[in-house]
């Protein structure tokens, strides 16, 4: 895996982004921001899942004014996602937001941009320039014909120029598309030219069945090349699942160790237990464990411990019986119906 590219460091609240700091995991609330109770409830669930930065949609002034009440109950930094209206950005900063996602080129008159930048500077609020293939400027679409990596980078450059001309450099950038190869190419191109920290992800990735694949491939390739400082997996699903998938990508690449990694065999004619059902139960029971742990669920008592000897804990089934093992060494034999509980008890005692 390539060495991580050294980028500038910005701070979203107390979370450092870039500069070789740990790749942070973020998500976005899917509640109506004006509904403070529902939004706080979702943020709490995301905090429990390990989310480190949360973004909230701010479609109008009522939503902007709700941010302060939400922030009182949040323990992670909050970013206001704003489009076009500079007044919403000013109100979000007033409410104590930790970051803005707003493209300065879309705000309008220069004096409006200056007001937002001045307030962001005074309050040490970073800005994310979020370029999306689905909302490129008309002139870029006319120039390139349709969204291309070069068009995404050129869009980002235009917004960056506005901020730099006002001596503002607390910037991070994203260049997203639902097309994975286009997204990868855009990030590669941008990374060669700039050292601003990068927020990486695949936009509109879809429901879990396809979205996890697209996100894992796109984000995984970029991270393996040393590109990326913070990640968001975009799924048509509960945002806590986005966080779990993001940590799964980071864990698989050896970038961050957090939570449970499940190793399980695909089964074959030697399998005499309901391995699929057992693996799903193990995954469900351990999905909220934050301590790094690798757990194997194997269908064959002959090869199980050997094939998964690097796992911290594991179980392997036989005919009406199974074994519990730790680091490849058998601890005990148990009845098939007791395998799950025996495994969970062993992990709980270890924790």
Domains of the chain and any CATH numbers: 10-252 (3.20.20.20), 260-350 (3.30.413.10)
pLDDT score of 294? 85
CA separation for the pair 70, 90 (Å, rounded)? 17
Q: Which residues of 143-174 are buried (b: 16+ CB within 10 A; e: fewer)?
A: eeeebbbebbbbbbbbbbebbeebebebbbbb
What lies within 8 Å, CB to CB, of 1 at 6+ separation is 224, 225, 226, 253, 254
Write out the H or E segment, with its range, that includes residue 208: helix 208-224
CA separation for the pair 255, 220 (Å, rounded)? 11
Nearest to 16 by CA among 172, 120, 248: 172
For residue 289, CA distances in Å to 41, 43, 87, 261 come to 20, 18, 42, 10
Q: Are 101 and 119 in contact (CB under 8 A)?
A: no
Give this prediction's pTM.
0.87
pLDDT tens over the chain, length 351 residues: 788 999 999 999 999 999 999 999 999 999 999 999 999 999 999 999 999 999 999 999 999 999 999 999 999 999 999 988 999 999 999 999 999 999 888 887 889 989 999 999 999 999 999 999 888 888 998 999 999 999 999 999 999 999 999 999 999 999 999 999 999 999 999 999 999 999 999 988 788 889 999 999 999 999 999 999 999 999 999 999 999 999 999 999 999 887 778 888 777 766 777 778 888 888 888 877 777 888 888 877 666 666 667 788 888 877 777 888 888 788 888 887 888 888 888 888 876
Q: Are 245 and 50 in contact (CB under 8 A)?
A: no
Backbone angles phi, psi at 315, to 5 degrees: -135, 150
What lies within 8 Å, CB to CB, of 167 at 6+ separation is none
What secondary structure does DSSP assign to 118-163, as a single string? HHHHHTT--EEEEEEGGG--HHHHHHHSS--HHHHHHHHHHHHHHH
């Amino acid at each position: 895996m390539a060495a991580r590219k050294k980028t500038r460091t910005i701070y979203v609240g107390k979370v450092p982004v870039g500069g070789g700091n740990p790749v942070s995991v973020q998500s976005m609330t899917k509640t109506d921001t004006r509904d403070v109770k529902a939004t706080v409830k979702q943020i709490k669930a995301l905090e429990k899942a390990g989310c480190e930065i949360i973004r909230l949609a701010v479609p109008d002034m009522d939503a902007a004014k709700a941010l302060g009440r939400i922030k009182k109950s949040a323990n992670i930094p909050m970013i206001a996602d704003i489009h076009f209206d500079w007044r919403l950005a000013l109100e979000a900063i007033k409410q104590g937001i930790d970051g803005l996602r707003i493209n300065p080129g879309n705000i309008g008159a220069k004096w409006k941009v200056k007001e937002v930048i001045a307030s962001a500077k005074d309050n040490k609020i970073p800005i994310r320039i979020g370029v999306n293939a689905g909302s490129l400027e008309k002139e870029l679409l006319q120039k390139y014909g349709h969204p291309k990596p070069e068009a995404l980078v050129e869009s980002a450059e235009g917004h960056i120029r506005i901020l730099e001309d006002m001596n503002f450099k607390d910037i991070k950038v994203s260049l997203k598309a639902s097309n994975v190869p286009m997204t990868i190419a855009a990030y590669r191109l941008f990374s060669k030219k700039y050292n601003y920290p990068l927020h990486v992800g695949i936009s509109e990735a879809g429901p879990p069945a396809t979205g996890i694949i697209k996100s894992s491939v796109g984000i995984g390739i970029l991270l393996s090349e040393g590109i990326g400082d913070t990640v968001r997996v975009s799924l048509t699903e509960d945002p806590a699942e986005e966080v779990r998938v993001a940590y799964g990508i980071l864990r698989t690449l050896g970038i961050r160790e957090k939570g449970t990694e499940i190793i399980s065999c695909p089964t074959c004619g030697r399998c005499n237990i309901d391995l699929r059902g057992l693996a799903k139960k193990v995954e469900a029971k351990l999905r909220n464990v934050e301590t790094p742990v690798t757990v194997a669920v194997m269908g064959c008592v002959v090869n199980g411990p050997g094939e998964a000897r690097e796992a911290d804990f594991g179980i392997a089934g036989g005919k009406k019986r199974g074994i519990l093992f730790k680091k490849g060494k058998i601890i005990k034999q148990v009845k098939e119906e007791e395998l799950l509980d025996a495994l969970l008890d062993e992990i709980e005692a270890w924790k």
